[in-house]
């Protein structure tokens, strides 16, 4: 058995802890089954956003006539588009690995690791141990139990990013952010899209008003079926047929399963380590990201707090501080204040803080400030008729949440984030800021004025 000062499981955000430990002269083992960079680089944020930006360009071309510009969408080089995204990703993953190999005190164990004891792991034929271990092994797509699913060809978000041929008619099972982002991409490329969502809402975790508007707009683009319970799936000839519990059916040439993600704790066999997990098998951690086993930390998706790359990076900063600090060095609790998210769909969505339905459920008093894009100069110039900003605040002006649907939603949200994180978290932070006229940010300012 080979002994290390630190073992890092997962080469995503865990790389930050690895790098910091290595720079201090610690002997570090990095366990990673796949390419370096984790889910975000290889199967998530980066490749999907490269593809989605292409889809956004297609949508701009399609809308050009509204602005008096006659244009025609020519050939879409689908294979070239896919290769551009994945070549960039593969190249960066390779560069990361080559860089790590140059470090004298880091040893990469390429393979699937599994715990054999409290602080020991087996990776291939190697068994390793360390007093300190950081688990950052992420999640993987959920495969639901549906009658007949095992007998038909299907893809998850992992395989969807590597397809060589554009699906002619794509059935998407799921209605969360992964489902709608990939529907946006494939639909813009030319696939006929069917979205089958068991929930009665699309992107159901969003503010209820945002969710309703989004479903309305997406239904104008694609075949969207909400509250769709699936009875079974079968393949007839070249067609895949999804049978609904209500007796209806949907057919297509390809099937995408996007029904959520599950943590990789089962693959790691965390039970043998003594690490406690919750009812959904996510690793339980305290405010310092410590697990139930002293000396073992967890961060990122596998800890189940927020399944975002930016939250994993934030946790990695704190874990680095807490793992490498001296005994006199005080541990720091992760500050999740103003943790934002975005959905890079068409239209785009972004949000932070409480939703209106959450405030209602708690019986809290609140004010709503809402402004439409089209009521601003830039919104008018963009012919943006559907987008809006919605700010929720208490009676003292404290910002409780902000939710945006429309162009550049993820960017517009940031002045609210600065107020919630670094300012006074008050509407006045926005109102007292001079906004460029007629920049699109005025829609946020006007929502604040409504409060």
What whole-number distance in Å separates Cα of residue 230 and Cα of residue 244?
4
- Mean pLDDT throughout 254-270? 97
CB 13 within 8 A of CB 38: yes
CB 372 within 8 A of CB 321: no
Residue whose C-alpha is closest to residue 291's, from 317, 309, 265, 255: 265
Q: What does the pLDDT look like over 25-75, one tens digit per residue? A: 999 999 999 999 999 999 999 999 999 999 999 999 999 999 999 999 999
- Mean pLDDT throughout 142-161? 97
What whole-number distance in Å separates Cα of residue 317 and Cα of residue 134?
12
What whole-number distance in Å separates Cα of residue 375 and Cα of residue 327?
57
Phi, psi of 53 (to 5 degrees): -60, -40
What whole-number distance in Å separates Cα of residue 169 and Cα of residue 186?
9
**Residue 408 pLDDT grade (very low, low, confident, very high; cuts 50, 70, 90):** very high
Bridge partners, residue 404, by sequence: 350, 389
What CA–CA distances, in Å, run from 237 to 32, 240, 241, 255? 40, 8, 10, 14
Domain with CATH 3.30.390.30 in the chain: 347-450
CB 419 within 8 A of CB 440: no
**Residue 330 pLDDT grade (very low, low, confident, very high; cuts 50, 70, 90):** confident
Residue with tokens 């690793």: 283
The pLDDT of residue 329: 73
Residue whose C-alpha is closest to residue 343's, from 184, 212, 159: 184
CB 201 within 8 A of CB 226: yes
Q: Decide which of 3.30.70.660, 1.20.200.10, 3.30.390.30, 3.40.50.11310 is the CATH code for 347-450.
A: 3.30.390.30
Counting other chains too, the contacts that 145-153 makes at CB distance below 8 Å and 24 or more residues apart are 146/230, 146/232, 146/233, 147/231, 147/232, 147/233, 148/232, 148/233, 148/234, 149/233, 149/257, 151/234, 151/235, 152/233, 152/234, 152/235, 152/240, 152/255, 153/235, 153/240, 153/254, 153/255
CB 197 within 8 A of CB 183: no
The pLDDT of residue 328: 65
What whole-number distance in Å separates Cα of residue 40 and Cα of residue 139?
11
Length of the chain, please?
Answer: 451
Query: What is the token pair recorded at 116?
Result: 């054999």
Q: What CATH number does the domain located at 149-259 have? A: 3.50.50.60
pTM score of the predicted model: 0.96
Percent of residues, the chain, with pLDDT higher than 70:
99
Domain with CATH 3.50.50.60 in the chain: 2-141+262-324, 149-259
Q: What does the pLDDT look like over 341-400, one tens digit per residue? A: 999 999 999 999 999 999 999 999 999 999 999 999 999 999 999 999 999 999 999 999
The pLDDT of residue 326: 67
CB 134 within 8 A of CB 9: yes
Bridge partners, residue 389, by sequence: 371, 404
The pLDDT of residue 327: 66
Query: What is the token pair recorded at 146?
Result: 């549906």
CB atoms within 10 A of CB 336: 12
Q: What does the pLDDT look like over 78-132, one tens digit per residue? A: 999 999 999 999 999 999 999 999 999 999 999 999 999 999 999 999 999 999 9
What whole-number distance in Å separates Cα of residue 107 and Cα of residue 54?
38
What whole-number distance in Å separates Cα of residue 175 and Cα of residue 403?
18
* Domain 2-141+262-324, architecture per CATH: 3-Layer(bba) Sandwich (3.50)
Number of Cα atoms under 13 Å in the Cβ half of residue 292: 13
Q: What does the pLDDT look like over 317-328, one tens digit per residue? A: 999 999 998 666
Residue 6, SS3 per DSSP = strand
The answer for residues whose C-beta is within 8 angstroms of residue 333's C-beta and 6 or more apart is 287, 288, 318
The answer for residues whose C-beta is within 8 angstroms of residue 405's C-beta and 6 or more apart is 210, 213, 214, 347, 348, 349, 386, 387, 388
Residue 51, SS3 per DSSP = helix
């Amino acid at each position: 058995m080979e002994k290390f000062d630190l073992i890092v499981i997962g080469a995503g955000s865990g790389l930050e802890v690895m790098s910091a430990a290595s720079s201090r002269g610690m002997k570090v083992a990095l366990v990673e089954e796949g390419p370096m960079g984790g889910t975000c680089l290889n199967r998530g944020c980066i490749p999907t956003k490269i593809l989605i930006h292409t889809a956004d360009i297609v949508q701009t071309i399609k809308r050009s006539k509204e602005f008096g510009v006659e244009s025609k969408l020519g050939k879409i080089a689908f294979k070239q588009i896919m290769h551009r995204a994945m070549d960039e990703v593969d190249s960066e993953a390779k560069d990361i690995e080559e860089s790590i190999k140059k470090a004298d005190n880091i040893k990469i164990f390429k393979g699937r690791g599994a715990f054999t004891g409290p602080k020991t792991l087996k990776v291939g034929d190697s068994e390793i141990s360390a007093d300190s271990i950081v688990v950052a092994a992420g999640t993987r797509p959920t495969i639901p139990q549906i009658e007949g699913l095992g007998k038909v060809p299907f893809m998850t978000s992992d395989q969807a990013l590597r397809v060589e041929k554009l699906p002619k008619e794509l059935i998407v099972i799921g209605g969360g952010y992964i489902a709608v982002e990939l529907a946006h991409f494939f639909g813009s490329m030319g696939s006929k899209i069917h979205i089958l969502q068991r929930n009665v809402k699309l992107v159901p975790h969003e503010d209820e008003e945002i969710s309703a508007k989004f479903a309305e707009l997406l239904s104008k683009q694609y075949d969207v079926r909400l509250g769709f319970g699936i009875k079974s799936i079968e393949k007839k000839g070249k067609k895949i047929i999804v049978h609904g519990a209500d007796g209806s059916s949907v057919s297509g040439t390809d099937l995408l399963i996007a029904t959520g993600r599950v943590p990789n704790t089962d693959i790691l066999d965390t039970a043998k380590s003594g690490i406690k997990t919750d009812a959904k098998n996510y690793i339980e951690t305290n405010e310092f990201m410590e697990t139930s086993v002293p000396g073992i930390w967890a961060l990122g998706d596998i800890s189940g707090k927020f399944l975002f790359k930016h939250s994993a990076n934030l946790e990695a900063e704190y874990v680095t501080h807490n793992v490498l600090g001296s005994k006199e060095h005080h541990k720091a609790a992760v500050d999740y204040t103003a943790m934002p998210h975005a959905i890079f769909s068409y239209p785009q969505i972004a949000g932070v803080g409480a939703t209106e339905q959450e405030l209602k459920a708690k019986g809290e008093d609140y004010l709503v400030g809402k402004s439409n894009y089209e009521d601003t100069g830039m919104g008018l110039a963009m012919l943006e008729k559907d987008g809006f900003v919605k700010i929720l605040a208490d009676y003292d002006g404290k910002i409780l949440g902000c939710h945006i649907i429309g162009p550049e939603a993820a960017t517009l949200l940031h002045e609210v984030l600065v107020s919630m994180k670094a300012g006074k978290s008050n509407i006045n932070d926005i109102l007292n800021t001079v906004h460029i006229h007629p920049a699109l940010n005025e829609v946020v300012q006007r929502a604040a004025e409504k409060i």
